[in-house]
Amino acid sequence: MNRAKKLQITGFTAFFLSGICAISSSVIVSVLQETYGFSFGTTGTLLSAMSIGNMVASFAAGLLPSKIGTRNTVALLCFGYFLGYLMMTASGVAAFLMLAFFIVGLAKGCTINTCTVMVGDNSPDRTRGMNIMHACYACGALICPFLISVLLVRGAKLPLIAIALLGLVLWAVLLSAGLPGRAAERANKQSVPLDFLRSKKFWLLTALVFCQNAAETSVTGWLVTYFRNQQILSGTLSTYTVTIMWGATLIARLLIAFVFPIKDTFKALAGMGLLCTILYGAMVFSATPVMAVVLLFAFAFAMAGVNPVAIAGTGRIMNATSMGVLLPISSLGAIIMPWIIGMVADSIGLRAGMFCNLVPCAGILVLSLIIRRMEANR
């Protein structure tokens, strides 16, 4: 096996494990809310703390490799999945849990940045590579609710320990890939082109991924709590909403990668944005379990391709530095939107808070149309 193929497979494997570790947080936060009686505002803040860690790590993962090497950057930041989930077993103090979620976010952000560049640079077809990588993430996300539900029978701490150990495996997988250390990075040091900072398309794509992060994180983070609150789905059944969502995501990403390749990137993104807006609005106002599940599946199917297709749409400007700008800035959406939902939920009601998420869904549509028109006028 050549080095490019090895790095590609390492990226797929790490993203699969990250899917389990990252998406578990949406189920864990609901368990913590029930266990400790947290308000919606506190719950939203926990999710935002993870997103802040994700943003910080995405930025750091774009800058630190030139200073300390890619291997050392991964060793430092990706250890956060193990450490963060282990910390959650120690205390129910909100401030301590916020720190734990922040540390988990560090691992998530570093894994995303590292794997995006690793797979992007080593895939003959970048759009296909990105969709396969994100499909691996979806596979991990599919598994996590089953894993947590089985382990919850033996207490709330056992799932946290299991996820922490999987995070340790992810850390070891990345470190075994032969990533360059500090000496290698310095030996190959070249001036990093910053032309992408003057690209209007780059900033519009950053805004588009911002909207995708806001919409998707709000759904994965809040939907279990929302369905329980509205008594649409209850008990352990509500935790399987994550499985439904990621099942649809996996199917859609595999179809894009192998069956229906994207020919017009921004026309496809506009269509996805339109469907997401319509389906999300209908899902928030659904009143029956069957309708809620059907609309969730359809929404997740429509949203699935937005991130990998948009990232692949960066084209020649994809590198560690550009991703170190795009990913952390766009991840602000995952920080701001869950927090807004929590604040609105405490003031007006959770349904009103969830309704706010229509704004980033519509943003995907609008920004895709703007970029498509700009590309057509060149």
pTM for the structure as a whole: 0.75
Please tell me the distance from the alpha carbon of residue 82 to that of residue 264, in angstroms, as a whole number: 40
Position 365 scores a pLDDT of 96
Find all residues with CB under 8 Å of 378, minimum gap 6, and list them: none
The fold adopted by the segment(s) 3-376 is Growth Hormone; Chain: A; (1.20.1250)
Q: What is the dihedral of CA 224, 328, 300, 273, to 10 degrees?
A: 130
69 bridge partner residues = 181
> How do the pLDDT tens digits run along the chain, 378 residues long?
688 888 889 999 999 999 999 888 877 887 888 888 888 778 878 888 887 898 888 778 777 877 788 888 889 999 999 999 999 988 888 899 999 999 999 999 899 888 888 887 787 777 788 888 988 988 888 888 788 888 887 877 888 899 999 999 999 999 988 776 655 555 555 555 677 788 888 999 999 999 999 998 888 778 777 877 777 776 556 666 777 887 898 899 888 888 887 788 889 999 999 999 999 999 888 878 888 888 989 999 999 889 888 887 776 666 667 777 888 888 788 888 988 998 998 899 888 999 999 999 999 999 999 999 988 877
Identify whether the C-beta of residue 221 lies closer than 8 Å to the C-beta of residue 26.
yes
At 48 the pLDDT is 80
Domain boundaries, the chain: 3-376
Q: Which residues 6+ apart lie within 8 Å of 290 measured at CB?
A: none
According to the model, what pLDDT value does residue 261 have? 77
